[in-house]
């Protein structure tokens, strides 16, 4: 697996496996804006900034931000995955 740095997100597209492998080196907001992400990835990482956020702006990513920058994701699928994730956390 390759190691990527935060600034490289602006110049290259990466697959989800590579992004997950490098998640602790990457800013969540920059990921949101520069990469094509899956709904699962968004719920797991972007909506969970306490664990994976690098900076203050990562703490303020909302579902609306995800829908704005990830046009291929629908509000319905994001909501379903978010609810599922919360239910799994409660167990």
The structure's pTM equals: 0.89
- Would you state the structure tokens that stand for residue 91, as one six-digit string? 């167990």
Q: Give the number of other CB atoms < 10 A from CB of residue 34.
A: 18
pLDDT digits (tens, 9 = 90+) for 29-76: 999 999 999 999 999 999 988 887 778 888 899 999 999 999 999 999
Q: Give the number of other CB atoms < 10 A from CB of residue 27.
A: 18
Q: Rounded CA gap, 28 and 9, in Å?
A: 11
Question: Smallest Cα–Cα separation from 47: which of 90, 83, 15, 4?
Answer: 83
- Would you state the structure tokens that stand for residue 36, as one six-digit string? 């094509």
- Residue 91: is its pLDDT beyond 70? no
């Amino acid at each position: 697996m390759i190691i990527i740095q935060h600034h490289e997100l602006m110049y290259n597209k990466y697959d989800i496996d590579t992004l997950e492998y490098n998640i602790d080196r990457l800013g969540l907001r920059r990921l949101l804006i520069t990469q094509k992400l899956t709904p699962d990835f968004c719920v797991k990482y972007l909506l969970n900034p306490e664990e994976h956020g690098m900076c203050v702006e990562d703490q303020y990513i909302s579902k609306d931000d995800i829908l704005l920058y990830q046009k291929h994701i629908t509000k319905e699928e994001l909501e379903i995955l978010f609810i599922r994730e919360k239910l799994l956390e409660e167990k």
